């Protein structure tokens, strides 16, 4: 099933309540929330307080992407803040399994993220544990970057993996440079959840979300 997850990184932070509510009204399926620590990625965004602030404003699931060194230090805060799904980068911790386990133990969905330079084989051992795998289709840190087509082979590899391994049950998400031109190839490769920041906010929200959904559904 296609799910469009607009990234609030491209929202107007001084009008975040308005933008969150507009996204829900415009047909967004999830809200993608980017947390950047200025260490794991060369940019900072905001912390768990913003997630707590958003929580009562919307019924949408909060898809929280932690671009943070040693994310296990902050997982608790993001659970308390009301995240529905928390994703941690495979490259950001020496204790990936433990980090994911902490999230699962709190009855929150857990996701693992891989950077463009990280192969699927690196996360194979945690695949039975996760609810979502996020394949970065740009180098994390900034919105508005160009989609890296070579990442599609990883999406396809994950799609095959879950088909052939009955002990897995995860959705595949793509993040970075997803727009009306690139989404079809992602859907064809097997992605289910599509993060779109700059594309969604560069026009009428409802039209853009609808365009993405249609392009993804037609590509399958
Ligand atoms: C990049 C973030 C993305 C970003 C996507 O580090 O993880 O979620 O907001 O932005 P666009 O859709 O503009 O590439
Ligand atoms: Zn993201």
DSSP for 7-29, written as a single string: BGGGS-GGGHHHHHHHHHHTT-S
Task: Output the pLDDT for position 90.
Answer: 99
Instruction: Decide: helix, strand or coil at residue 79.
Output: helix
Residues of the chain falling short of pLDDT 70? none
Q: Do residues 90 and 123 touch, judged by C-beta distance below 8 A? A: yes
Task: Output the pLDDT for position 164.
Answer: 98
Domain parsing of the chain, residue ranges:
3-219
Pocket test of ligand 1: the residue of 86, 138, 202 to mutate, having most ligand atoms within 8 Å of its CB, is 138
Task: Output the pLDDT for position 56.
Answer: 98
Task: Output the pLDDT for position 73.
Answer: 98
Span from the CA of 137 to the centroid of ligand 2 (angstroms)? 10
List all residues 6 or more positions away from 214 whose beta carbon is below 8 Å from its beta carbon.
none
Task: Output the pLDDT for position 173.
Answer: 99
Instruction: Decide: helix, strand or coil at residue 42.
Output: coil
CB within 5 A of ion ligand 2: which residues?
Answer: 34, 65, 175
Give the C-alpha separation, 126 to 139, whole Å: 22
Q: Residues 3-219: name the CATH superfamily.
A: Aldolase class I (3.20.20.70)
Task: Output the pLDDT for position 151.
Answer: 99
Task: Output the pLDDT for position 133.
Answer: 99
List, for residues 151-197, the tens digit of each pLDDT value. Answer: 999 999 999 999 999 999 999 999 999 999 999 999 999 999 999 99
pTM over the 0.95 mark: yes
């Amino acid at each position: 099933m296609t799910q469009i997850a607009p990234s609030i990184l491209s929202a107007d932070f001084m009008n975040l309540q308005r933008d969150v509510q507009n996204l829900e009204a415009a047909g967004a399926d999830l809200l993608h929330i980017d947390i950047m620590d200025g260490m794991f990625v060369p940019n900072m965004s905001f912390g768990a307080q913003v997630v707590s602030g958003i929580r009562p404003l919307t019924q949408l699931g909060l898809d929280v992407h932690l671009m943070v060194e040693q994310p296990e230090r902050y997982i608790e805060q993001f659970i308390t803040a009301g995240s529905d799904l928390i994703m941690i980068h495979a490259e950001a911790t020496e204790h990936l399994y433990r980090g994911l386990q902490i999230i699962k133990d709190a009855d929150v969905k857990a996701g693992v993220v891989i950077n463009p330079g990280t192969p699927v084989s690196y996360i194979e051992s945690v695949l039975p544990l996760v609810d979502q795998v996020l394949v970065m289709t740009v180098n994390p840190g900034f919105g508005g970057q160009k989609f890296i087509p070579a990442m599609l082979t990883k999406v396809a590899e994950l799609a095959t993996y879950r088909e052939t391994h009955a002990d897995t049950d995860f959705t595949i998400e793509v993040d970075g440079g997803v727009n009306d031109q690139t989404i079809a190839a992602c859907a064809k490769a097997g992605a289910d959840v599509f993060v779109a920041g700059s594309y969604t906010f560069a026009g009428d929200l409802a039209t853009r979300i609808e365009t993405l959904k249609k392009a993804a559904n037609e590509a399958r």
